[in-house]
A and B are shown apart, each in its own frame.
Chain A
Amino acid sequence: MKFHAKMLDVLYMREFQAIAATLAKLAKECVMLVAQEQMHLIVNEEHCSTSSPLVWVSIASKDYFPEYQMTPARPEHDLIVLVMSAMHLSRALAVLRSGSSSSVHSCKLELKQIQFPCISVIASVVSPNSSEPREVVHDVPVTVVPPSDWSSYMLPKVPNTQIVLGVPSLRLLRSLIDKLKNISPSFIFHGSTAGELNLVAESEMATITTRFSRLLLHKPDQGQSGAGAETESEIRCSVDTRKASAFFNALQLPNEEIMIGIDSERCICLQLDIRSNVVLHSILPAVCAEI
């Protein structure tokens, strides 16, 4: 079993660090699925009754890593599944964030066996007053998951949604949901095919309706053909405010647009296109509205 990847572009390295930092804010453990074409990072603390939602990031390996090699333990397998501390990974990558003080040339990720299996994060850094690059090495201990247990670590599927709207004001959305936390334990996403998204929070004392209008409708685009009556009606789903807020507060990425998909009364699918072929997903499950 071998895994080795190298990043050279400063932008990509910063982005990778931001992704790891986002995940570290959400959960203790992070699952890394290494496949031939893609690398996935998954955090899922759903079962721990904490308030973070399920979040995963898929990265197209060819785009991101000029050097990318993975050899599974057996030729019939096509995956390496690793579990590590999200915080450790994020700290190991923190050097990539470095601003003006030093510049990072490259960053390597390598699966190694020291006394235990670990991912070595090796960053080559140049300080401003020296021409010699130095290497900053962090070994992040990992648990290699045997194929018999893979079924519990598989990549989540994006649920089928009736509507997907692009909201360009992520910053406003974040502060809004953060405030709604103090008003009501749950709030409702109402989507309409007219490109409107309404967030409604209700409590004994107040009802707060926020309208995002003139949004880009990403779905349904095949709507004209038949299912007229069904798409006309409003699509709605009520979610846990703390869970939603935990997701939005964790985001460390500079993107301003987020795609919000609604599967009526089942779940909200959030999708952040960090760049083409690098996508962050999250699912907020529906809760019963209390009022």
Chain B
Amino acid sequence: MLTQSQYENYKLVCRLEHMKALYSSIKAICFSDFGTLHASEDGILITVEQGKSIQATLCIAPAFFAEFKVDGTPSFSVKINVLAECLSLFGLSDCSIKILYKGEGAPLLLLLEPHDDDQVSTECSIKTTNVEEQIDYDLDANSSSLNTIFMRGPDLSNIFHELDKAADEFEFTISPLKPHFKITTLGVMQAESSVEVAKSSDMVILFNCRATTVARYKSQQIKLTNKAMQVASKVAIKTDGSGLLEMHFMMQCDDQEELYVRFFITPLLEVDGN
């Protein structure tokens, strides 16, 4: 085992007593090959992209960890499914985990110790590669069309579960007037279905909308948020006139926002037909 003095050589040291929440969050963003990890005093961001149109970031605040030390702003890429596989080595047994990174070129070390057996420990060393360039998505906070909805996670998950699975595109309408929040699915054969959620609904925690926004998204991309949605306690949906969709999935039951997954999904171009 590593002693305290040896830690000094590490750029990143964090320790977590229970890793279930971390594992399910990483599982939620496991839709691409590589994930990029950025660490700083503000915590850890793990970003995964697919194509140039969807980006998911797992944001972990320093307070989430029992111990968190960072030297500078180390960043690197790892195979995200290998990372998830390593975290689940002991199946359902809860483990404590230590994450260590020495610096450029060094592997990412994970030390897992199951709580129910102190004679067993695992060390995973995962190869890291250089950071890949990423797109900076941002919604304009001052935009007059910035709309924000906070919803309860399990309810939103149920809504998506009941939507047409074969649909090609999803259309999100957010409006200050009725129907407030509407999801329409558009199928290949012109089949349409829609769900409307009134702002007075119990599902809605916060509804902040000034101007109507309508945008369409590829259903495959919306579906990539499924895993995050299933475990989220609270979901924030934000969009503006540009149609860029930002969703936040809070991963903890209590109100602490220490662990959440943020998705950016770009809209489909408007096809007017004329």
Contact = CB atoms under 8 A, between A and B. Distances in A.
Question: Does A pair with B?
Answer: yes
Interface of A: 168-169, 171-172, 175-176, 178-180, 182-183, 203-215
Nearest to A183: B85
A255 B79 CA distance: 37
B122 A175 contact: no
Contacts of B90: 172, 175-176
B119 A207 contact: no
Contacts of B114: 172
B125 A206 contact: yes
Interface of B: 79, 82, 85-86, 88-93, 107, 114, 117, 119-127
A211 B1 CA distance: 11
A212 B119 CA distance: 6
B117 A206 contact: no
B89 A210 contact: yes
A168 B119 contact: yes
B85 A179 contact: yes
A210 B127 contact: no
A171 B114 CA distance: 12
Contact of B127 (A171, A179, A204, A208): A204
A209 B90 CA distance: 13
Contacts of A213: 119-121
Contacts of A178: 91
Given A168-B119, A179-B91, A208-B123, 17 more contacts: A169-B119, A171-B93, A172-B114, A172-B117, A175-B93, A176-B89, A178-B91, A179-B89, A183-B85, A204-B127, A206-B125, A206-B127, A208-B125, A209-B124, A209-B125, A211-B121, A213-B119
Nearest to A213: B119
Contacts of B121: 210-211, 213
B89 A169 contact: no
Nearest to B93: A172
B235 to A, nearest CB: 30
A175 B86 contact: no
A207 B125 contact: yes
Contact of A169 (B82, B120, B127): B120
Contacts of A182: 85
Contacts of B125: 206-209
A79 to B, nearest CB: 42
B46 to A, nearest CB: 16
A171 B117 CA distance: 11
B120 A208 contact: no
A136 B164 CA distance: 50
A203 B124 CA distance: 11
A207 B124 contact: yes
A172 B120 contact: yes
The listed residue with most A CB atoms (<10 A of its CB), out of B82, B89, B90, B125, is B89
Nearest to B108: A206
A76 to B, nearest CB: 52
Contacts of A215: 119
B120 A212 contact: yes
**Which 3 A/B pairs are nearest by Cβ-Cβ distance?**
A175-B91, A210-B122, A206-B126
A214 B15 CA distance: 24
Nearest to B88: A179
A171 B92 CA distance: 10
25 contacts: A169-B117, A172-B93, A175-B90, A175-B93, A176-B89, A176-B90, A176-B91, A176-B122, A178-B91, A179-B88, A183-B85, A203-B82, A205-B79, A206-B86, A208-B89, A209-B124, A209-B125, A210-B89, A210-B122, A211-B121, A211-B122, A211-B123, A213-B119, A213-B121, A214-B119
A18 B56 CA distance: 46
A183 B107 CA distance: 16
B93 to A, nearest CB: 6
A169 B117 CA distance: 8
A214 B125 CA distance: 23
B126 A205 contact: yes
Contacts of A206: 79, 82, 86, 107, 124-127
Given A175-B92, A176-B89, A205-B82, A210 B126 contact: no
